[in-house]
Amino acid sequence: MHNGGVMGIVARILVAFLVAGAIGCQRAEVIERRSSGAEGNPVPPIADVTGQWYGKAKPTNPADKEDARLAALTAGAQLELILDKDGRFKMTMMGTPMEGSYEAESEAVTLKIETVMGQRIDDPNAPAAFMLQELKEPIEGTIEGEGKTLFFPGKKDKPGEADMTFTRDKPAQDKVGPRTVAAAEAPLVGEYVFDDSYAPPKKPRTGKETPREIAREKAQEFSRNMSKGMRLTLREDNTFQVELMVLMKGSWKRSKGELILTIKEPKEMLAYSGGEKPEMRARIAPDGRLLMLNDKSGQVDFALKRR
CA atoms within 13 A on the CB side of 238: 15
The answer to whether residue 38 is domain-embedded is no
Residues 6+ apart with CB under 8 A from 256: none
pLDDT > 90: percent of the chain: 32
13-22, 31-40, 79-88, 111-120: which range is least confident on average?
31-40
Total domains in the chain come to 2
Same domain, residue pair 227 and 124: no
| 111 within domain boundaries | yes
**Separation CA 69–CA 180 (nearest Å):** 34
Average pLDDT over residues 199-217: 76
CATH number at residue 298: 2.40.128.280
> Across all residues in the chain, what is the average pLDDT?
78
Task: Using CB atoms within 10 Å of the CB of residue 236, give its burial: 0 to 12 exposed, 13 to 18 middle, 19+ buried.
Answer: middle
Work out the number of other CB atoms within 10 angstroms of the CB of residue 182: 9
Q: What is the dihedral of CA 155, 159, 161, 163, to 10 degrees?
A: 70
Are 11 and 127 in contact by the 8 Å Cβ rule? The answer is: no
Domain stop point among 132, 167, 202: 167
Let me know if residue 9 belongs to a domain: no
Per the structure, the complete domain to which residue 147 belongs is given by 20-28+45-167
What is d(CA 131, CA 115) in angstroms, rounded to the nearest whole number?
12
- Return the CA Rg of the chain: 21
How far is the C-alpha of 191 from the C-alpha of 236, rounded, in Å? 11
The proportion of the chain whose per-residue pLDDT surpasses 70, expressed as a percent, equals 70
Q: Residues 119, 216: one domain?
A: no
Sign of the four-CA dihedral 55, 60, 66, 69: positive
- Residue 24 shares a structural domain with residue 158: yes
Residues 238 and 156 both lie in one domain:
no
Digit-coded pLDDT (tens) for 131-167: 677 778 888 999 999 889 999 987 777 666 778 899 9
Residues 69 and 131 in one domain: yes
Nearest CA among 249, 250, 271 for reference residue 65 = 271
Asked if the model's pLDDT at residue 120 lies above 70, the reply is: yes
Q: Do 155 and 24 fall within a single domain?
A: yes
- 95-99, Cβ contacts within 8 angstroms, sequence gap of 24 or more: 95/226, 95/229, 95/230, 95/231, 95/243, 95/244, 95/245, 95/246, 96/14, 96/226, 96/229, 96/245, 97/228, 97/229
- 50 and 123 together in one domain: yes
Peptide bond before residue 266 is cis, with ω within 30 degrees of 0: yes
Mention every residue, 6+ apart, whose C-beta is less than 8 A from residue 53.
80, 81, 82, 83, 150, 166, 167, 168
CATH number at residue 75: 2.40.128
pLDDT of residue 5: 54
Whole-structure pTM value:
0.67
Cα three-residue angle 205-209-212, rounded to 5 degrees: 130
Residues 6+ apart with CB under 8 A from 274: none
Picking from 136, 167, 198, the residue at the C-terminal end of a domain is 167
In a domain, 37, yes or no: no
Query: Residue range 206-224: average pLDDT?
Result: 75
The reply to whether 107 falls in a domain is yes
Pair (199, 79) in one structural domain: no
Q: What is the mean pLDDT of residues 82-108?
A: 88
Q: Are strands 258-265 and 290-293 parallel, antiparallel or unpaired?
A: unpaired
Asked if residue 163 and residue 53 are part of one domain, the reply reads: yes
Pair (205, 281) in one structural domain? yes
Q: Does a structural domain hold residue 297?
A: yes
What is the DSSP code string of 95-129? TEEEEEEEEEETTEEEEEEEEETTEETT-TTSTTH
> 224 with 279, same domain?
yes
Mean pLDDT of 242-270: 85
Across residues 216-241, what is the average pLDDT? 82
- Contact at 8 Å (CB) between 197 and 289? no
pLDDT higher for 113 or 17?
113
Residue 6 lies in a domain: no
Q: Do residues 144 and 220 share a domain?
A: no
Query: Is residue 35, in this structure, part of any structural domain at all?
Result: no
How close are the terminal C-alpha atoms of the chain, in Å? 27
Q: Region 33-58: what's the mean pLDDT?
A: 65
